[in-house]
Amino acid sequence: MLAFARAYPEPGEFSPQPVAKSTAYSLLWQLPWGHHALLLEKVKPVEERRWYIAQTLAQGWSRATLMLMIDSQAHQRQGVGASSA
């Protein structure tokens, strides 16, 4: 939990667009804890983590699928790299 708090000091950064903020939860709060633990362990750049969080929610990825996507560097195939941060 300490790693989570340190990784996301400003959780509002993960909120949807301002128009939708009043009705939607932050992306962080929609993801199960096990997914967060995996992301914190495997994905260091916050922009890459943000992409994996969004894709996990949009695609309904299980933790096992998320691990496969991280291991196969799915974010790079979609053009999301450390340089876009």
Q: Is residue 64 part of a domain?
A: yes
| Higher pLDDT, residue 60 or 7 | 60
Q: Is residue 38 part of a domain?
A: yes
Q: Residue 57 has what pLDDT?
A: 94
Q: Is residue 10 part of a domain?
A: no
Q: Is residue 83 part of a domain?
A: yes
Q: Residue 27 has what pLDDT?
A: 80
- Write down the residue that tokens 């876009």 correspond to: 84
Q: Whole-angstrom Cα distance, residue 43 to residue 49? A: 6
DSSP annotation of 45: S
Q: Does residue 77 contact residue 71 with C-beta atoms inside 8 Å? A: no
> Could you list the residue range(s) of the whole structural domain that residue 75 is in?
27-85
Token digits of residue 36: 């967060």
Q: Does residue 53 contact residue 28 with C-beta atoms inside 8 Å? A: yes
Q: Does residue 15 contact residue 24 with C-beta atoms inside 8 Å? A: yes
Tell me which of 37-46, 61-70, 75-84 is least confident. 75-84
Q: Whole-angstrom Cα distance, residue 62 to residue 56? A: 8
Q: Residue 80 has what pLDDT?
A: 64
Q: Is residue 17 part of a domain?
A: no
Whole-model pTM: value is 0.75
Q: Is residue 31 part of a domain?
A: yes
Give the mean model confidence (pLDDT) for residues 12-39.
73
The count of structural domains within the chain is 1
Q: Is residue 63 part of a domain?
A: yes
**Is it the case that residue 23 has pLDDT exceeding 50?**
no
